[in-house]
Amino acid sequence: MTGRSLAGPMPRRTFLRRGAGAAGLVFAPLILPATVWGAEGPAPSGRVNVGLIGKGLMGSGHLRRLLGDPAFRVLAVCDADQVRLTDGKNQVEQHYADDTASGTYRGCAAHVDYRELIARPDIDAVVIVTPDHWHALQAVDAAKAGKDVYCEKPISMTVEEGRRVVEYTQRHQRVFQTGSQYRSITTIRQVCEFIRAGGLGRVKSVFTLFNSLASWIGGERFKPYARIVNADICGKSYVPLDFALPPEPVPEGLDWEMWVGPAPWRPYNSLYHINPAPGVVPWSFCDAFGVTSLTWHLAHSADVIQWALGMETSGPVEILHPADGQFPTLTCRYADGTLLHLVDHWGMVKDLYHAVPETARLAGNFGGLFVGERGWITTMTTGGPIEGGPEGLFEDLRLPSREVNVGANNHHANWLECIRTRRQPSNHEEIGHRSASLGHLANIACWTGRSLKWDPVAETFTDPPAANRLLRRAMRAPWRI
């Protein structure tokens, strides 16, 4: 991290000394000047040539965002599925054709293999929107090829993978943005800065959602495989599982070998991938390709929570399993004593922990509920406006609006700006790695059924040391980081 640290907002204690309760406080902007990164990259005001890797539902959203911004030029699309690939290429060419005098444009390349895309010298940056098992490998390979990276969350399948992403990004001086965009929504940003600066006083506990497989594998599309997935038993698992799903004919145009890539081999089954997509991350229940809650929402929530706690480049020191009896749900303890309770649903915050008034309206996702000395406040992105109490908190916070407008975020814009200035983005590689790590640690506690002690500096378990073997998994040959 030498020479790359963002200047953070003022420490909580400093804030408190200056009078946390005073009205009219002005909070520091999110992005403060950082050390200028390497000189190579597009010209400061130049257009950024981008390749999109992965054109599923999320990839389509990214593509629309990129095409809608004249500062980006999409030169290539990549997908292992020819249907999605062709659709992406056509979408790009149609968009740019509208800007030409002739009304035609044929300048978007289509690649099944991402290695061809990142080898192109005309591409400055890539947006990685593939299934989770690809994220770290593609991010590292892109960095090694000299490309700047925007990578969907979680950026890794294991703690070790995430550390590799950090190391290679920094070694090659790349600009890396983690795709947890909720921190870039104005309202969420203001609330996080408020908490971080001590607006709640000392934060005692935080709550966020951590869900089992129940609702996922109990869904309609799993019904034909009900006997195999055993939702009544396997639905209790918080970690992804492997299922002996029957092989099905690989759809025409899908390169299944490439789709599986570095993950443990699984024969094709439509539960993993099908057109049209049944929703985002359909593969996330399977331990070869995804990481359940971390894929669904925890990577976002961890990002917002650890940022507000000032822990975004660190992590908890203990993961306390409910089997040990200290807390009724899985709980992470940070070095300053703050507790992060992972709950199945918001009702547990009232019924089990009695942490907020019965009248508190808790809804939504992609954030957390913070309880501090001065009151409580939410940072959830979906489910309505910011809630909290007592009302005096909001007088200090001075939000222009409690509404959370998901679309109004500057996450891609921040990445673009940093590509030009060679500065660290708001959600750089270390932050993305630490958010993902929180989910990995929680999953390891679930796998082992016990509490764990974690050293966030060395990134190793101190108790039991045997758990350290779960920090990595090898890739299917011939892939490697």
Residue closer to other proteins (CB basis): 232 or 395: 232
Among the residue ranges 89-97, 311-319, 366-374, 462-470, the one whose residues contact other proteins (CB under 8 A): 462-470
Residue closer to other proteins (CB basis): 4 or 95: 4
Please report which residue ranges of 339-428 form alpha helices under DSSP H. Answer: 347-351, 392-397, 411-421
Per-residue x/- track, 39-58, other proteins (CB under 8 A) = -x------------------
Instruction: Tell me which of 10, 145, 360, 399 binds other proteins, using CB under 8 A.
Output: 145
CA gap 265, 133 in Å, rounded: 12
Give min distance, CB of 227 to other proteins, in A: 6
Give min distance, CB of 382 to other proteins, in A: 31
2 lies in the binding site for other proteins (CB under 8 A): yes
Angle at 265 between CA 176 and CA 79, to 5 degrees: 45
Residue closer to other proteins (CB basis): 335 or 474: 474
Instruction: Tell me which of 448, 453, 456, 460 binds other proteins, using CB under 8 A.
Output: 448
Q: Which of residues 197-256 bind other proteins (CB under 8 A)?
A: 227-230, 232-234, 237, 241-247
- Strands across the sheet containing 460-463: 388-389, 375-378, 369-372, 203-209, 339-343, 331-333, 318-320, 452-455, 460-463
Residue 342 near residue 331 (C-beta atoms within 8 A): yes
Residue 269 near residue 247 (C-beta atoms within 8 A): yes
390 lies in the binding site for other proteins (CB under 8 A): no
Give min distance, CB of 121 to other proteins, in A: 10
CA gap 312, 9 in Å, rounded: 13
Amino acid symbol at 56: G
Per-residue x/- track, 284-313, other proteins (CB under 8 A) = ---x--------------------------
Alpha carbon 311 to chain centroid, angstroms: 16
470 lies in the binding site for other proteins (CB under 8 A): yes
Residue closer to other proteins (CB basis): 371 or 442: 442
Residue 303 near residue 327 (C-beta atoms within 8 A): no
Residue 452 near residue 318 (C-beta atoms within 8 A): yes
* 51 bridge partner residues: 76, 126
Q: Which residues are at the interface with other proteins (CB under 8 A)?
A: 2, 38, 40, 144-146, 167, 171-173, 227-230, 232-234, 237, 241-247, 264-265, 287, 447-450, 464, 466-467, 469-470, 472-478, 480
